[in-house]
Amino acid sequence: MRDDPKPPFREQQQPMPGSTAAMQPRPDHGEESYRGSGRLAGKAAVITGGDSGIGRAVAIAFAREGADVLISYLDEHGDAQDTADWVEKAGRKAVLAPGDLKDPKHCRAVVTQAVEAFGRLDILVNNAAHQATFAGPEEISDEEWEVTFATNIHAMFYLTKAALLHLRAGSAIINTTSINADQPSPQLLAYATTKGAIHTYTAGLAQILADKGIRVNAVAPGPIWTPLIPATMPPEKVKSFGGNTPMGRPGQPRELAPVYVMLASDEASYVTGATVPVTGGRPFL
């Protein structure tokens, strides 16, 4: 059994969107532990928010399973290059695609860039997200509300729409929702609302695409130790982060990656419309 870090953590805060290098302890993305077995051999994937956190762990796992990976990210160039280096160390192609997914044109460009680089597209992982904490609705500006929806749910639609021009039978779309879709944190009202929308979007889209042989599923993480935490939560919340789970700690990004691999692989050929909770024991209904 691994001795993963438990709270209390050092109180820490970063400017948004956060940096992996500045976190204490450093998150574990499976850099030294993930072992692939060819489950995604010959496939090509787009991973949004692929520079750090869950996205980095998924990129590393996908590459070690045999997939080429496009890493979509906003402007965290150092983190993104680190992720690309791990993909290339696994012997796979890595493509970096910086830019703002709130722009529908950029979403379409990301998909086009992947197809041009890899000659195909088999997997779309909609993982990029924006969150911020507020005491109440009166503190949430109109712009903040719109940015959260544009990043978390609108971009997912634009990316999916563009990807469907290239996805074939056997392809997979995987969306990152959250335990907040079922147990919304009052301080994360905008974020939690979008995560509920993603849960519903996944279930509806899966039914639409089933006859095309394209599977659509979601992963619902609980508290996961990523740069988003010190970048969007007050230091006292960071200190106790993850302590509210039965396991008494936050999850590490590497603990999410095998679920994404399974959902992307042909082994999940009869799994669509599902949301898989990875919550450290917190219930998700």
pLDDT tens, residue by residue, 40-69: 999 999 999 999 999 999 999 999 999 999
Per the CB < 8 A criterion, the answer to whether 144 and 132 are in contact is yes
Edge-to-edge strands, sheet with 172-176: 94-98, 68-73, 44-48, 123-126, 172-176, 215-221, 275-278
pTM of the model: 0.96
Q: Which residues of the chain have pLDDT under 50?
A: none
Active-site residue set: 191
Read off the tokens for 68.
Answer: 């080429």
pLDDT, residue 285, reads: 79
pLDDT at 18: 82
pLDDT at 16: 85
Residue 154 has what pLDDT? 98
Mean pLDDT estimate for the chain: 96
